[in-house]
Amino acid sequence: MFELMFCSFFTILPDYLYRRLVQGKRFGKEINLFSVWYELRWGLTGCFMLTVGLITTVFYFHPSTTAVSSYYRTVTILPQISGRVDEVFVVSKQEVKAGDPIFRIEDSTQQTAVETATRRIAEINAAMHVAEDQLVAAQGNLDQAVGLLEQTADELARQLNLQARNPDVVAGREIDRLQNTAEARQGAVDAAQAQVSSIETQINELFPAQLATANSQLAQAQAELDKTVVVAGVDGTVEQFGLQEGDYISAILRPAGILIPHEFDHGVFAAGFGQLTGQVVQPGMLAEIACATQPFQVIPMVVTAVQPVISSGQFRPTDQLIDPAKAPAPGSLTTTLQPLFEGQANAIPPGSTCIANAYTSFHEQLENPDLGFWTKLGMHGVDTVGLLHAIILRIQVLLLPVKTLVFSGGH
């Protein structure tokens, strides 16, 4: 309507003035309800063509969208294990820091596992001390066996020496007895040495391996025990939290609530423009937004990024071929908007419903002296009609409270 009224000043109004002042035709006489088309046909036709051209130019070079919002993420409060709630540490709307406990699940089974693993470690340490004492005893037995073997060997050598000097002095049976005794005591030395080696192996390899296994079991049991206490992963505010002691909680069947992190991109908005604006909307383009949560306020923005893909073309591999005829509705060209001046959009709550205009500017191109007259005139015209779209945005901002509160029932 605004464009039609604007264009009528350059088409219908001059046509009417020509009929009235030059041709002498009067409104209500020659120009009436039945003859208005015939009398003002040039003005009406020109107004229609100019209006269509103006609307096309405005909305193509200065696109607008109502799909604008600032997004934020939420963290679902879920336990890693299922169980019955034993203790609740927070309430809904409470702010928490990263690492703060939220609730605790009944943990008698996990406590028992930790106690068992702890006692197993103590048992292995005690067995290691016993083995060390056994090693001392085995080393003593080895020294004793070596001493007896050396004694028998000396006795055998002395007897053999006597026999070599005088065969009649030492009986052959005594020599055999000493040799058998030496062999038996050598076996005792080997057995004592094996026992020492066995105990050393237990102390140096077996018990450390068992201790490492026990420590791993303790760590696993402690990890399972830690899972019974659900803590906040980030700083944020707890919302929709109605958990009570005795409730059964499950990671699949029932989440406990939602945690809204404090850290998010303040003042960053995502806007979805029509695909027809793909050649117009570019990073660095100026824009304006107006949100329902901040009525009567228009915030200057700048396009910082344009998503290189459109969401309607996304697919996941399945067992069925994709039929383009059954594709979803055409997606929008997603862009990222940020305030032109830092901090201007901080007062807008994330998730607010907003509208946005983007404005094409040929200011830098117009400084090129090689441009022709008609090219410069067209660029000046495109930049000028952007003012018309800015006026429309401000009219929408002024009418938004009336439209929402009066004509939409206050929603």
Domain spans in the chain, listed from the N-terminal domain onward: 1-55, 62-71+264-312+331-411, 75-105+229-261, 108-226
Q: How confident is the model at residue 115 (pLDDT cuts 50, 70, 90)?
A: very high
pLDDT average, residue stretch 137-144: 81
Whether pLDDT at 169 is above 60? no
Residue tagged 């053999």 (tokens) = 160
Helix ranges restricted to H, 294-404: 373-402
Q: What's the confidence (pLDDT) of residue 220?
A: 92
> Can you tell me the distance from the alpha carbon of 385 to that of 390, in angstroms, rounded to the nearest whole number?
9
Of 276, 279, 233, the residue nearest 258 (C-alpha): 233
pLDDT of residue 376: 84
- Quick one: pLDDT at residue 170? 59
Query: Which fold is adopted by the domain 62-71+264-312+331-411?
Result: Elongation Factor Tu (Ef-tu); domain 3 (2.40.30)
Burial 275-308 (b: 16+ CB within 10 A, else e): eebeebbeeebbbbbbbeebeeebbebbbeebee
The region of weakest confidence among 42-46, 159-163, 321-325 is: 159-163
- Specify the range with the lowest mean pLDDT, choosing from 25-29, 104-108, 273-277: 25-29
If you average pLDDT over every residue of the chain, what do you get?
Answer: 83
pLDDT tens digit sequence for 243-253 = 888 888 887 76
Report the pLDDT value the prediction gives residue 167, as an integer from 0 to 100. 66
Residue 156: pLDDT band by 50, 70, 90 thresholds? low
The pLDDT confidence band at residue 116, using thresholds 50, 70 and 90, is very high
Q: pLDDT (tens digit, 9 = 90+) per residue, 203-220?
A: 888 888 988 999 999 999
* 103, two tokens: 């609730």
Side-chain half-sphere of 295: how many Cα atoms within 13 Å?
A: 10
Confidence of residue 410 (pLDDT cuts 50, 70, 90): low
pLDDT (average), residues 25-41: 75
Mean pLDDT in residue range 74-83: 87
The residues with which 300 forms a beta bridge, in sequence order, are 288
Which of 116-125, 142-151, 357-366 has the highest average model confidence (pLDDT)? 116-125
Percent of the chain with pLDDT strictly greater than 90: 10
The CATH number assigned to the domain with range 75-105+229-261 reads 2.40.50.100
Query: Could you give the CA distance from residue 89 to residue 103 in angstroms, rounded to a whole number?
Result: 5
* Neighbouring C-beta atoms of residue 343, cutoff 10 Å: 9
* pLDDT of 333 higher than 70: yes
Question: Radius of gyration of the chain from Cα atoms?
Answer: 47
- Among 111-115, 263-267, 292-296, 361-365, name the one with the lowest average pLDDT: 263-267
* 164: confidence class by pLDDT, cuts 50, 70, 90: low
Candidate from 9-18, 89-98, 341-350 with smallest mean pLDDT: 9-18
Residue 357: burial class (beta carbons within 10 Å; 0-12, 13-18, 19+): buried
Lowest-pLDDT range of 33-37, 132-136, 171-175, 367-371: 171-175
